[in-house]
Structure 1
């Protein structure tokens, strides 16, 4: 099983760092004009489309919330 896992991992894209994810989400927030937690649905939708398969959805939600609650 460990051999299978290492073989599969070779072909998977490297996960994005938190800083990379935050940068992408910051661009989405700016582009959509999101200003408060009321806009979380719009930002999450765009972020999940953009970041699908590149990072964990929970991480995306955490970063979106932190950016919109400032």
Structure 2
């Protein structure tokens, strides 16, 4: 079996971080991120949600 390696010139679907914002924990914030991902994918934007310490962080990415 061959090992497959990629370098930066071969990357497809690369995500570039545009911005992040921290919020107080909210159990419904994932619904906002899901809504944004579904409705803005044609604009090559992607949103992520993570929990760090006692805060939730929304990240905005531009997809290639």
Provide the TM-score with structure 1 as the length reference.
0.33
Structure 1 or 2: more helix by fraction: 1
Instruction: Give the TM-score normalised by structure 2.
Output: 0.35
